[in-house]
Amino acid sequence: MVKVAIMGHGTVGSGVYEVFEMNAEKIARTVGEPVEVKYVLDLRDFSSLPYGHKFVTDFSVIENDPEVTVVAEVMGGVGAAYQFTKRCLEAGKSVCTSNKELVATKGDELLKIAEEHGVNYMFEASVGGGIPIIRPMLQCLAANEFNQICGILNGTTNYILTQMIHNGVTFEDALRQAQVNGYAEKDPTADIEGHDACRKICILSDLAYGDKFDPDAVSCEGITKITLEDVANADKLGCVIKLLGRSVRCEDGTAYAYVAPHLIHKESPLAAVEDVFNAIMVDGNATGEVMFYGKGAGKLATASAVVADMLDSIEHRDSRRRIMWGDGSKKLLRPLDTLRSAWYVRFKGTREDIESILPVESLSEPVEGVFVVQTSKIPTAEMDAAAEKLNAVGKVCAAMRIL
């Protein structure tokens, strides 16, 4: 019998335990022997649960038990989760996690420690929750060079934008609805400011291009400035607004990576992704575009991905998975200055100023002195300079890329 442990008993941690209990027979068939959760680590008292005797508050109990070979880290954050993960790997235990912040910021270091100790550090659940994306990139698409990754990587923001698009709900009211429905945290900053999506696009870029993309260095813009006016204007242009995480590989091996709201044409498969659903489009040089779609979060969906990694680690005790990326020293992140995009601009001012400063593709009739502009493709630096000039003679109310 294989013995495993779970660190953290929040939504995902309790889900991991539930999956092991619910699917015990299937899990035993998959790995060839029964798997038992020996410990659940949490500082809170859960002794009233049917499996309360398994709870421990002292991490060293797990660390020093030679029977425990695989551990789930579902604590979140980069404090105790980082220290405990590091010590588990150093003790010869594989660790599987849903902790996107830890993987994005410390993944290179933890993967190196795992390699040195002949164990696995796996994190399928850290990007798409229950949507398979890491393993397909590492295995099914392993023969490809990746040209581009683009996705709706955060269910909370997608739910908010869906409410704005279909129900005419303001951003503030849609956020409150998301919180009432349990889709948004009490402090929603990580979601609505794009930080959650940023960590995820960094992990995908790390895997795709082989070196660390630091979330602190990646341009990140959320959805807090989007208004119902922008939603209506996008619709007139045949588009919807989505928050995208995107990385684009260049010929010299460097890559753009960023998070920002975009106008997406309604014909795009990404435009139809609504509510809390996520979708990740991967463009391989052999396969072309492949899309992965589903709920990007949720207790059992995320837990199933964590448990799948744990089973993979059990099966590969003697031949660890080859997952590695560099420490960022290759400096693959390319400044956005030269990334060319078409832009949607909402500007209050004169037609003459717009036409003299921006390369206009289309221009609406003004409503109360406000024009809606669609530009031809220009570099980001050129758009930034144009916005500065426009703000000197009027007001740029909104500016978003058109994909």
In residues, how long is the chain? 403
Catalytic residue among 100, 200, 242, 299: 200
Other beta carbons less than 10 A from residue 380's beta carbon:
19
Is 112 catalytic? The answer is no
Q: Which residues contact 262 (CB under 8 A, 6 or more apart)?
A: 241, 242, 243, 244, 400, 401, 402, 403
How far apart (Å, rounded) are the C-alpha atoms in residues 374 and 342? 7
The number of CA neighbours under 13 Å toward the Cβ of 142 is 6
Quote the distance between the C-alpha of residue 135 and its chain's center: 15
Compute CA distances 142 → 38, 198, 254, 326, whole Å: 35, 23, 19, 18
Distance in angstroms (rounded) separating the CA atoms of residues 132 and 368:
48
Residues 6+ apart with CB under 8 A from 367: none
Closest CA to 75 of 154, 13, 17: 13
d(CA 18, CA 50): 12
Q: Pairing between strand 370-375 and 340-348?
A: antiparallel
The distance in angstroms from the start CA to the end CA of the chain is 52
Known catalytic residues are: 200
